[in-house]
A and B are shown apart, each in its own frame.
Chain A
Amino acid sequence: MNIQLSWSRRLFIVINYAFLIGLAATCLFPLIHVLAISFSSSTAATSGMVKLWPVDFTFASYEFILHKKEFIRSFEVTLLRTPLGFAVNMLLTVLCAYPLSKEQREFRLRTTYAWYFILTILFSGGLIPWYMTVKTTGLLNTIWALIIPGAVPVFNVILMLNFFRGLPKDIEESAFLDGAGHWTVLWRMYVPLSLPVIATVSLFTLVGHWNAWFDGLVLMNFPEKYPLSTYLQLMVANSSSLNFSGQSLFELIAVSQRTARAAQIFLGALPILLVYPFLQKYFVKGIVLGSVKS
């Protein structure tokens, strides 16, 4: 197996690798930088001495955060919100995608329904109607305000619908012949066969819930109920605020909290980073290849 590579081919491989490594590095550097800052002393961080390696290594900022009630509390909110939101989203995505993946002759109003969903991607009511709807339905200031308004992620439904349509019709028909109903077909055949798309959509949903901060800010009335991203957003946004009012001199001090901020960002991002490798193995194509012999 000693294949002689041509020069141009070798050159391509070298350049290709260099390019991809460079690309990966640009994604990694900011993360490593934040990590280095979080382990550095405040003096070093505020004078911009920290690049990719901690200066004056210390755990002080992590200690500081783990004793911080607000951080822990919003972490809890996120830990509640993400699984709950994930479950609701995934259930509704699958349930919407299945009927919509059928042909017009099987499901007469399919196109109407499809447009009904797609319209919500194209047009939105805007901030105030959104807020008023949540308010009048009594969801405001409850955990459900973060889950119900976005319960059907239409984009994900379309992704899944298209995947369902790509599954060979014959499998489904043979199941019907054997006496299976729609529920059986959906849960026993479609879902197990759609692991790649389910993994993708799961990732979108998890990351989406983990990172969503704006809804928490607007729909929650008290900071105690903010999810982690909202809390982090405020920590980071706050520091660059230049609004000067004589009453808030002390806010300036927040600027030197650079290390603590970095540690919080890192701790906030860590759990969701860990999800990626576990979903990796499902991103395999061609699972249904060879299931139909004709």
Chain B
Amino acid sequence: MFKKKMITLIAAAACLLAVTAGCSGKNEGSSPSPSAGASQPSKSSAQPSNSPAEGKADPLGKYDPPIEVTAVRQVNSALKFENGETIQDNAWTQHYANDLGIKLKYLWVVDNTQFEQKLNLMLASGELADIMPVPGVQMRQMNDAGQLEDLTEALDKYGSETTKAFMMKDGGTALNSATFKGKLVGLPLNPGSTDSAPLLWVRKDWLKKLNLPEPQTMEDVFKIAEAFATQDPDGNNKKDTYGLAVAKELYSDYGDLTGIFNGFHAYPTIWVKDASGNLVYGSIQPEMKQALAKLQELYKKGVIDREFGVKNHDALIQDFNAGKVGMYYGLHYSPLLFPDAKKKDPNLDLQAYRLPSIDGQPAKPQTKFNVAEYYVVRKGMTHPEAVVKLMNTYLEPRSREAFPVEKYAIKGDIEKWQYALVKGSNPTQNLDVYAKVTEAFKTNDTSKLDEHTPEPNTYKIVKSYYDGDVNGWGYAMIFGERGAQGILYDYNKNNGYQPTEFISAPSSIMAEKQATLSKLELETFTKIIMGESSVDTFDDFVANWKKLGGDEVTKEVADWKASK
């Protein structure tokens, strides 16, 4: 049972994410080259010597004779293989070699949790690979050290229609974040920001049991939380339930506080515009103080778990499975964290809600800039356009006959799409999938689902849940009729988000100070909520934050803005 469930879920999750191009590409009509406007950089000495004649650049052209390209990469340790395939030799590497003439050779491969360490070691030892997927901080460092090749022309000339369309789907913000002084140095992998918005999740079966209304305002939230904590919603005559689940991380995908802060119009951890238009750090704004005061009150009343300061996200998941949690703030995919809960308690009825607001103003869920990875090319590589070709071939919509799903995308719980070195992503994929799946349910017509996207599979899983298969529960919570993506879709349509205004890879000062400042923030807020410090310590925190490097970071952000 355990295995079967795992397989279904993994398959489901992977299919959803398996990027298989060809979405209804409604880019803003024009698809300008990303370098348009910027002065064309002078050709570096390392331009491809044997590049085809001008205008004949083929986005999927084969190198003849084949070239060897070195790379490094991260791999999740849970990734599976079959038939003797390995990360170094599989359907994708063979496809690269046979159809593109690119022989891929990995210098090293490491688990994703350790990737940065290994990458830093490589940077220190000075022997870089040709193509490297790196986080933003390292991209900036490498660029500052002059180690990266300019990709402006490569993308312009070799980028396929699809690749360019996807790059512009977010208005080009991700590309901008990889452009320094008019030079594009990395191809961003942008999963989109809408999925990072927090939502309110409530157990509707508990609401019904205690005769409570659905949450519309913040007052409702407080009332529900108190009732959940004190009126024994699970009916076991024990006071073992929490009003509001909070993980000790405070900002998390489940057991989160960002959503409640957003209800107070406070936006922790992101950069927002103040009244005079300057960029300021959200966590030190006065609105935070009110929210913290309220949280302290809730904690005092016993609505928040007494032990939340030591309960991490994982422990809190156990509590949800055990039926102790009735309300929490969390991301759209949070139901996938508790695949066992619905099986254990068939009455469980979880529901996502828009963020309630403390006053008449609607609350805006905050979103972050979500590009975790850029594909960069070592300075001096003879074929910098190879990276663009690799992305083209990943995104190219192809017939299922020539490129069978079982060989390139997914087979059972074996996620073959992950084998590809360079991936692409549609920043609004989940919203698109939601729209199409909902439409299909409404019209009972599945013919409009695009087979190059996760749409058909998502439809299938959600439908299986409606037909009684409990394994599809998590997916139905996200993409189903009352699903979380529906709310995100609405927010997106009505411009309801509060995105971070600092759209860039973190600067070096920021990367250096971040750990200290975040720790200070987390500790202060935890102490305030637990009543160990008075709410007024928030003012000291603001002063400390500025002193410990916050001012420098703020200045850097201002400089960044001025340079845009």
A-to-B contact residues, CB < 8 Å: 41-43, 46-49, 60-61, 64, 70, 127-128, 131-132, 135, 141, 217-218, 221-224, 231, 234-235, 237-257, 259
Contacts and interface: CB of A to CB of B under 8 A. Distances in A.
9 contacts: A42-B2, A135-B125, A222-B109, A223-B111, A224-B86, A234-B111, A249-B14, A252-B336, A253-B6
Interface string B77-92: 1100000001110000
Interface stretch (B113-121, B458-466, B508-516): B113-121
B113 A46 contact: no
Interface of B: 1-3, 5-6, 9-10, 13-14, 16-17, 75-78, 86-88, 106-114, 117-118, 121, 124-125, 189, 191-192, 195-196, 249, 252-253, 312-315, 317-319, 321-323, 331, 333, 336-341, 343-344, 370, 372-373, 415, 423, 425, 429-430
A61 B2 CA distance: 9
Contact of B3 (A64, A127, A252): A64
Given A245-B372, A256-B339, A238 B76 contact: yes
Contact of A249 (B17, B117, B317): B17
A252 B337 contact: yes
A244 B6 contact: no
Nearest to B9: A253
Given A131-B121, A249-B16, A47 B344 contact: yes
A218 B117 contact: yes
A238 B76 CA distance: 8
Contacts of A257: 6, 78
A252 B121 contact: no
A196 to B, nearest CB: 39
A242 B336 CA distance: 14
Closest 10 CB pairs of A and B: A246-B191, A47-B321, A221-B108, A48-B318, A250-B13, A47-B322, A245-B372, A42-B2, A43-B340, A234-B111
A250 B415 CA distance: 10
A218 B118 CA distance: 7
Contact of B340 (A47, A141, A223, A241): A47
A246 B340 contact: no
A116 B10 CA distance: 55
A49 B191 contact: no
B333 A218 contact: no
Given A240-B314, A251-B76, 18 more contacts: A43-B344, A61-B2, A131-B121, A132-B125, A141-B108, A218-B121, A221-B109, A222-B108, A223-B77, A235-B77, A238-B78, A247-B191, A248-B76, A251-B78, A253-B9, A255-B337, A256-B340, A257-B6
A247 B133 CA distance: 14
Contact of A247 (B2, B340, B423): B423
A221 B118 CA distance: 9
B17 A247 contact: yes
Contact of B249 (A60, A242, A245): A242
B195 to A, nearest CB: 6
A243 B113 CA distance: 9
Contacts of B333: 249, 252
Given A60-B2, A253-B336, A234 B17 contact: no
Contacts of A241: 112-113
Contact of B322 (A48, A131, A217, A255): A48
A68 to B, nearest CB: 9
A155 to B, nearest CB: 26
Given A47-B321, A250-B13, A223 B189 contact: no
A46 B340 contact: yes
A143 to B, nearest CB: 16
Given A70-B77, A127-B121, A245-B370, A253 B192 contact: no
Nearest to A70: B77
A60 B125 contact: no
A43 B343 contact: yes
A254 B112 CA distance: 14
Contact of B10 (A127, A132, A250): A250
Contacts of B189: 247
A237 B77 CA distance: 11
Contacts of A47: 318, 321-323, 340-341, 344
A238 B112 CA distance: 8
Contacts of B124: 128, 131-132
**Residue with the greatest number of chain B CB neighbours at <10 A, chosen from A221, A231, A244:** A244
B113 A237 contact: yes
A256 B5 CA distance: 10
Given A60-B3, A237-B113, A252-B336, A246 B118 contact: no
A206 to B, nearest CB: 25
Contacts of B339: 253, 256
B38 to A, nearest CB: 28
A150 B344 CA distance: 50
Contact of A245 (B86, B121, B191, B430): B191
Contacts of B111: 217, 223, 234, 238
Nearest to A128: B124
Contacts of A255: 314, 317, 337
Given A41-B2, A246-B195, A223 B322 contact: no
Contacts of B372: 243, 245, 247
A113 to B, nearest CB: 32
Contact of A46 (B114, B317, B425): B317
B17 A238 contact: no
Contacts of B195: 246
B125 A128 contact: yes
